[in-house]
Amino acid sequence: MSPKHVPLRKCIGCQTMKAKRDLIRIVATPDGAIRIDPTGKAAGRGAYLCPTVACFELALKRKALERALKRPVPAEIWDSVKRQLEGTAHG
Ligand SMILES: [Zn+2]
């Protein structure tokens, strides 16, 4: 069974289009929170990032997440994203 249509999203770090399921979604919810969205279905403005520390640091350096979500991103959000990346990096 091969998927007919793979939804693509652009990584805010390296700016590469990738399959949505290969990226992590960070969502700015309507109530003002910013969090990682493991389901990819939470309501709100989303940004996508490759699950690598390299892309994380690119996005951080460029303030790409702030731009994508159109709001300031607190340091603890970055910390929690980074922790998740470091956790998944080991497979
Ligand atoms: Zn990337």
pLDDT, one tens digit per residue, over 50-63 is: 999 999 999 999 99
Q: Where are the beta strands (DSSP E) in the chain?
A: 8-10, 17-19, 24-28, 34-36, 45-49
DSSP character for 11? B
Mean pLDDT of 53-78: 94
Topology classification of domain 8-89? Hypothetical Cytosolic Protein; Chain: A; (3.30.1230)
Ligand 1 centroid vs 58 CA: distance in angstroms?
Answer: 8
Ligand 1 centroid vs 2 CA: distance in angstroms?
Answer: 24
Question: Does residue 24 have a pLDDT over 80?
Answer: yes
Ligand 1 centroid vs 55 CA: distance in angstroms?
Answer: 5
- CA 29 to chain centroid: 14
Q: And the tokens for 63?
A: 């303030």
Mean pLDDT of 25-52: 93
Ligand 1 centroid vs 26 CA: distance in angstroms?
Answer: 13
Ligand 1 centroid vs 17 CA: distance in angstroms?
Answer: 8
| Residue 36 β-bridge partners | 26
Ligand 1 centroid vs 76 CA: distance in angstroms?
Answer: 21
The pLDDT mean for the chain works out to: 90
Question: Does residue 1 have a pLDDT over 80?
Answer: no
* pLDDT score recorded for residue 2: 64
Mean pLDDT of 65-83: 92
Q: In terms of DSSP H, where are the helices of 9-74?
A: 53-62, 64-69
* pLDDT score recorded for residue 3: 62
